[in-house]
Amino acid sequence: MTAPGSGPARPVLSVRGLRKVFGDHVALDGVDLDVHEGEVVVVLGPSGSGKSTLVRCVHQLESVDGGAAYLDGELLGYEQHRGHLRPLPEARVARQRRRMGMVFQQFNLFPHWTVLRNITEAAVKVHGQRPEEARRRAVELLERTGLADKHQAHPKQLSGGQQQRVAIARAVATDPRIMLFDEPTSALDPELVDEVLSVVRDLARTGMTMVVVTHEMDFAREVADRCVFMDRGRVVEVGTPQEVFEAPRSPRLQAFLTRFA
Ligand code: ADP
Ligand code: MG
């Protein structure tokens, strides 16, 4: 498998023929995807179509059974060794993972830590930022996410929407090359969805490169540079939001969209 091209047009993230099997179930059946600098790619698709598996494989939370993913042209999870690919040592996988920020449906904040510490801990301990610098950035991020008065709060004192905003700030604080969102608003009460989407939208405006799995169709239309429609482990259709929403070509995408009409 050759690495994608170099130079300014090289994608931040490239996925090539990615395959993932659970038992006899093919969750990813040869997925290709490029995400370029500053691009927002929204992944749509019915439940079970492989969206989470895709981002989890990219983030190396799952092993892959075929194909490859590259971050800035660097193969993720494997290295060439005497003409073969062999898995990278754990420490190097960890280093690659640190270049990506991931936000899940569940916020996974540390309950015993303040909001501020939730954001700064990894930035300092794992990414080697100086404590005062990490703190300054965290304060700035909390202002940007509308949580300026919550530095010393603990997660359980916050709403789900506020916790998810902290989780986003935590990921952004480590200066990732790409942000991966897996249905960041699906666990929230409906009235809390917008405050989280608006943080994701603001992040997109700052030029952050992002992959966002979501069922929020209005958000996808507005924020996506490209939409990817997955079904049964494959990318069935890719296009601008206008192409995907106004002129879906495949019957499966047409059927999917009628559910949100
Ligand atoms: P989506 O996020 O689009 O709803 P997933 O990526 O979670 O879909 O799942 C794709 C398919 O893989 C589904 O059929 C799901 O049941 C299966 N799957 C996902 N994770 C596992 C797992 N850890 N073990 C077994 N099957 C799994
Ligand atoms: Mg999912």
Q: Which residues of 124-134 are buried (b: 16+ CB within 10 A; e: fewer)?
A: beeeebeeeeb
| 106 pLDDT above the threshold of 80 | yes
Position 2 pLDDT exceeds 70:
no
User: What DSSP character marks residue 96?
Assistant: H
Query: What mean pLDDT is predicted for residues 107-126?
Result: 95
Q: How confident is the model at residue 37 (pLDDT cuts 50, 70, 90)?
A: very high
3-state secondary structure of 99: coil
pLDDT at 92: 96
Helix (H, G, I), strand (E, B) or coil at 233: coil
| DSSP track, 58-79 | HTTSS--SEEEEEETTEESSEE
Check pLDDT > 70 for residue 135.
yes
Q: Is the CB of 101 under 6 A from ligand 1?
A: no
**DSSP result, 94-105:** HHHHTTEEEE-S
CA distances from 141 to 135, 168, 193, 220, 228 (A): 10, 9, 19, 24, 29
User: Does residue 164 have its Cβ closer than 6 Å to ligand 1?
Assistant: no
How many Å separate Cα 162 from the centre of its chain? 19
231-255 pLDDT, tens per residue? 999 999 999 999 999 999 999 999 9
How many A from CA of 25 to the centre of ligand 1?
9
- Give pLDDT tens digits for 189-217: 999 999 999 999 999 999 999 999 999 99
pLDDT for 260 equals 85
Q: With bands split at pLDDT 50, 70 and 90, how would you rate the model's confidence at 261? A: confident
ipTM exceeds 0.90, yes or no: yes
Average per-residue pLDDT for the chain = 95
Q: Tell me the average pLDDT across 150-158.
A: 96
Cα 148 to averaged position of ligand 1 atoms, centre (Å): 37
Return the ligand 1 atom nearest residue 20 CA: 12
Query: Which secondary structure element, helix H or strand E, spans residue 206, and what is its range?
Result: none
Atom of ligand 1 nearest to the CA of 54: 6
- The Å distance, Cα 20 to ligand 1 centre, comes to 10
Q: What number is the average pLDDT over the span 139-158?
A: 95
Q: Return the ligand number nearest the Cα of 46.
A: 1
- Please tell me the predicted confidence (pLDDT) of residue 5: 60
Q: What's the pLDDT score for residue 9?
A: 83
- CA 157 to chain centroid: 26
pLDDT band at 6 (very low <50, low <70, confident <90, very high): low
First to last CA, the chain: 41
Averaged pLDDT for residues 167-195? 96
